[in-house]
Amino acid sequence: MYSVCRNLWLKKLTKKGIYTRIDDFEEKILVEDDIDTHKERDRQFSMMEDALKKLGEPCKTIIEDFYIRNLTMQDICEKFGYTNTDNAKNQKYKCLQRLKKLYFG
C-alpha cells in the first residue's frame, strides 16, 4: 500500500515539474513483499493471541499488565498481593516461560 501511494504521489510531482526521478537511487518495495510481510505479522499476532488465551490467570494479566499496560513491577506486586517485587518478577518470569512454550510449541 505504501509503495503504491508513494509512486502515485511521485508521479504527480513529476508531472508538475517538482520532482525528477532518478531510478538508480530510488528505493523500491515490491507490493507483494509488503503484503506477505503484513500477512506474516498478522499470523504471528494471531498465534500470540491464542497463546495468551491458553495461558490462563494470573499469568495472562501479569504479562498484559507489564508488556501492554506498562505497569511497574511494584504496581503488579500490589495488584496481585505479592509480598515483594522479587516474587512478582519471579512469577512474571515463570509466566513468560509458559507463554513461550505455548507460542513456539
| pLDDT tens readout for residues 64-89 | 999 989 999 999 999 999 999 999 99
Question: How many degrees, rounded to 5, is the angle at CA 8 between CA 39 and CA 15?
Answer: 170
Lowest mean pLDDT, pick from 3-7, 21-25, 29-33, 51-55: 21-25
86 three-state secondary structure: helix
Three-state SS at 72: coil
Average pLDDT, the chain: 83
- Average pLDDT score over residue span 9-24: 62
54 — pLDDT class (breaks 50, 70, 90): very high
pLDDT of residue 3: 67
Cell of 18: 517538482
Does residue 39 have a pLDDT over 90? no
The CA–CA distances, whole Å, from 72 to 46, 75, 80 equal 26, 5, 12
Is residue 29 predicted with pLDDT exceeding 80?
no
